[in-house]
Amino acid sequence: MSFRPKDPLLAIAKAIVWLFTGVFAFCGALLLLVSPVVVAMQDRVLAEIAKNGVTADASIIGAILLMLLSAAAFMALLVWFLVNLRRIIESVGDGDPFIPVNADRLSRMAWIMIGVQLAALPLGAMAMYLETVMGDADGMHAQAEYGLDFGAIILVIVLFVLARVFRQGAAMRDDLEGTV
């Protein structure tokens, strides 16, 4: 069955998920495209940083590169998360959300969110390093902080619980269909 646009909430949810999937995919691709440019043009990057009154050596290029690649991984994980969410939304539109594959998707989404939190660690660490190196140079102010995102931890727990609910719902439906 195809997606039924009769339910405006599902249509809006699907449109929003498509929009954010596109935005995150574009940003991730852009980050991957910029990474080799930073390496190839590191002398110019260091010169631009020096214009702002920061004395930096080539190690800052490694930090910038790690930030770019971590952010690209972060974006890729978010795209993967949203693809799974879109497939669940489509199954709701088809009228059959309590299927084992949706339980697998929810469980996968929980693991993806754990990956997002892990991808944020080097991103935050490098941001703090760059804050230390850059300081308050010539009119620039950098401030970085990172830590555990308790909202994400709750989301992971909810997703794992929902995966079990969906798995149990699918099993109960299969049992019911077997008795009829």
φ, ψ of residue 55 in degrees (nearest 5)? -90, 115
Top-confidence residue, 134 or 154: 154
Would you say residue 142 has pLDDT above 70? Answer: no
Angle (nearest 5°) at CA 3 between 116 and 106: 30
- Asked if 77 and 115 touch (Cβ cutoff 8 Å), the reply is yes
Mean pLDDT of 74-98: 94
- Residue 94, amino acid: D
- Residue 6 pLDDT exceeds 60: yes
Lowest mean pLDDT among 15-29, 34-48, 102-116: 34-48
Is 164's pLDDT higher than 60?
Answer: yes
- Binning pLDDT at 50, 70 and 90, where does residue 1 land? very low
CA distance 101 to 169: 12
Q: What's the CA gap between 126 and 67, in Å, rounded?
A: 6
**Residue 100 — pLDDT band, cuts 50, 70, 90?**
very high
Q: Nearest to residue 115, comparing CAs of 84, 145, 88?
A: 84
Q: What would the pLDDT profile of 165-175 be if each residue is shown by its tens digit?
A: 999 988 888 77
- The whole-number pLDDT of residue 121 equals 85
Contact 144, 130 (CB under 8 A): yes
Spatial contact of 102 and 65, defined as CB atoms under 8 Å apart: no
143 band by pLDDT with thresholds 50, 70 and 90: low
pLDDT value of position 163: 96
Asked if 119 and 24 count as a contact pair (C-beta separation under 8 A), the reply is no
Question: Of 38, 44, 49, which is closest to residue 137 (Cα–Cα)?
Answer: 49
What 8-state DSSP symbol labels residue 7? S
Task: Give me the pLDDT at residue 3, please.
Answer: 47
Q: Report yes or no: 160 and 97 within 8 Å, Cβ to Cβ.
A: no
Tell me the mean pLDDT in the region 125-135. Answer: 78
Q: What is the mean pLDDT of the chain?
A: 87
Q: Alpha-carbon distance 10 to 92, whole Å?
A: 8
For the chain, percent of residues with pLDDT exceeding 90:
53
d(C-alpha 54, C-alpha 138), whole Å: 8
